[in-house]
Structure 1
Amino acid sequence: MNEIKCPECGSTISIDEDSYSNIIKQVRDQEFEDEMKKRLVILERDKQKSVDLAIQNLRLQMQEAAFVNEKKMQGLQSQLISAQAEKTMTVNKIKHAFEKERDSLEYLLEKTREKNEFDKKLAVSDAITELKEGYEKLKNNLDKVELQKELSEKSIKMRYEIQLKDRDDLIERLRDMKTKLSTKMVGESLEQHCENEFNRLRATAFPNAYFDKDNDASFGSKGDYIFRDCDSEGNEIVSIMFEMKNECDSTSSKKKNEDFLKELNKDRLEKNCEYAVLVSLLESDNDLFNAGIVDFSYRYPKMYVVRPQCFLPIISLLRNASLKALEYKSELAAIKEQNIDITNFENSLELFKDSFGKNYALASKRFETAIMEIDKSINHLQKTKDALLGADRNLRLANDKAQDVSVKRLTRNNPTMREKFNSIRKSDAA
């Protein structure tokens, strides 16, 4: 039996196992259905946003094409205006020539009135006929210009209508594709694009390169592609770990490029690749990533983020830089091989210096010990000498003092002894 506690009154109800399971199942089914409805609404809204974005991009392209066509139309209109001006000038010239000819004929008529009226009329008729023929030719030329203008306008209109139809068809195809694509398919489409771009230049630009999917997940994760290039001797020039990320419109949360850099750096280290590159369509409105190659080495060593159009350029840049470094390494190795004898000689010389230094230190220590013993002996003899000299000096002083002793000095400050000595002298004198 299971108990269900009421959250309001706190009372408990005992129900059997089957009833409890049915209640739990109903609750879970209802939550799952609500969650599915929310996800479907989010998916439908994101799909509609993607279709609207694609339509907006195509409209921008169509506006650019319309601007180009408008430029062409303006050029044709300029040509038509020029042709119209030329036609007007030609008509004016012919009219002027006609009027000049008419004036000339009138002048001739005035001068040749006495001539035959038939000849006069014939000359006038011939002149009028020539003028009519010239006018007809001019009219035919103008008709041809008008016809060419109409044909050009029709051709431009047909071309523009075909472009509009192609744009509409492309919008419909994109709308249908966005409806059908899943998150996995969107990511794989970017991977397929990069792989096709690389295979298009593999034979000519990267004949010794390895570029294939990373299928080793033994470390717990894996990248999308690994690129390795070697020289003709099999020495590795450069290695790059690639990760492709596309923004799927059906996902509820938008990811950022920096969200994938830590895992990509981990995959680079585990697969022993020198560089790591994230080929991304995320953050499509970020000018930092739209400007070109973005260096993230300040966050993770040798890390770059690029758009798909920079996929091949980043490979070429890193390969050329590593190729130059490989040349320096080869030159350094050659220099080391050339200097190996000098190194051995220097090692032998250092060994000789160490041995000689040890022997010199031992001999120097013993020499210092002997000098110290000699100094001790000299100090002892010096002390003995000083003691003897001191004793001699004391004896000399004692002798000098003994020589200076007299009766006067002894009795100078001693009246008693002076009286006794005086009494002794007196007795001796008596």
Structure 2
Amino acid sequence: MNEIKCPKCGEVFTIDEASYASIVKQVRDDEFNAEIRNRELNYSREKESALRLAKAESDKILQEQISKKDSLIQELQSRLEQKDSERELAITKAVAQKDAQLGEKQIEISRLTSAIESSKNQYALQEKTIKEGFETQLRLRDEEIERLKDFKAKQSTKMVGESLEQFCYDEFNKIRMTAFPTAYFEKDNDARSGSKGDFIYRECDENGVEVISIMFEMKNEMETTATKHKNEDFFKELDKDRREKNCEYAVLVSLLEADSDYYNAGIVDVSYQYEKMYVVRPQCFIPIITLLRNASLNSLKYKQQMEVMRNQNIDITNFEASLNDFKNDFAYNVDQAHKRFDEAIKGIDDTMNKLQKIRDALTKSDDQLRRANNKVEAVSIKKLTKGNPTMAAKFDELKNS
């Protein structure tokens, strides 16, 4: 792992090797482009300086040759004047030696002229050689610059030509097993709400507590597109998808507004418009995941404590629910028993009423029997024959016999 210190806030971030290499590559590319521009400028300056220096040296050499020639001519003129004086003093000898001296002078002049011409030709050849050398170096440098520009252009063309979504998916899969072995990163295929993002990233700890979740949206368009879109055109829909899919962050990976220095900074925080939303260039796709993931890992222990408290609250709630269920069941059983008790009491009351009726009936029957018994005891022959002379006569006869 590597540490990166923010030059503005001084906060130190820890990122993995892949993200660190990506950031170093981005910085190296910028430094490389700046180095190329500096070298082009320095080379142009060196070329102009060298040409001025070569021209100055050539002028200096030519001036020296001309000065030497002028000196030699003056010397020759002095010598001619001296010879004229000698000739005046010795006309006869001069006439005899005139042709020889004149021939020697002509030879000397021709030699000096040849030397001057040779010097001029040598300087011109040297100047031509230096110029050709610089032009060769310039041509090679221009070819190298064009090759690098063509290389970058081909890279951009390739990125535009292929799907940005596939590019990001491949970049993630390159380091999935090394940097994000337990993470979920797949296409968002749930469009039940009428819209969907491009990718969803989720990662949980060993206890199943969610560490981080990100909704990704990828946007790109060709340079020849007539109507140019802006990044902010997609913020509202992306925030809606984030909330519907219960994601913590929203990230727009965009190649739109390619000339914007604001978005070309790499990672742009637009949470002042929509909560927890970022806009990044494709080269910052992996770094934004790493930065958000590391920040979430730092707060993981608080999430774990909250999850423990939530589970405890769930346990308490379940206990209270079980207790309430027991109370309800017990109250139901008590109510049923009370109903059965009331029914039994009512049955006993009914039975007692029936027994009371039977008792009353038996009491009345006993009264009737007692009255009948009293009536039987009150019966006598006298009473029976009273008012019946026939039966009285019969009883009297029976009594007498």
Q: Same fold (TM over 0.5)?
A: no
- Normalising to structure 1: TM-score of the pair? 0.41
Which structure: larger Rg? Answer: 2
- Normalising to structure 2: TM-score of the pair? 0.43
